[in-house]
Amino acid sequence: MPSTSQRYPLSTPDGVAIPLEILRPHSYVKKSFTSGAASAVVAVPGNVEIAILSADQDCLVCFGGTAAVPADNTNVASVIFVPQGVRVCVAPTADNFTVIGETASGSLRIQFVDKWAGLAVQTQYQKR
């Protein structure tokens, strides 16, 4: 599982935000899903700490387990809801995940992003 330090998006040590519009792409995966069953496992690259998810239908992504639509008023660990047409940034909690449609089949687009902290020094932010 990736480390939890120097994630992107992040802020400088003095709290100045680094804008999300600046990305350093690692890799990209498109994964089809159905509403009836969890997808096949998708691996998170070993050195990736941030993933940007977007889907054409509402879906649930389960890190380190098998995705399932939970019963009403049930708390499910390591699951994130990805609404249709909304970009969601997430720090994966495991080295793989599965996805399931909440009510319809569709596709999930996963943009893995390299951590960005090592590419700039603090003095670059202080001089702006």
pTM of structure: 0.77
Report pLDDT digits (tens) over 99-113. Answer: 999 999 999 999 998
| CA 119 and chain centroid, separation | 21
Q: What is the predicted pLDDT for the residue at 23?
A: 74
Q: What is the predicted pLDDT for the residue at 8?
A: 46
Report pLDDT digits (tens) over 51-71. Answer: 999 999 999 999 999 999 999
39 CB-side CA count, 13 A:
25
Q: How far apart are the first and last CA of the chain?
A: 35
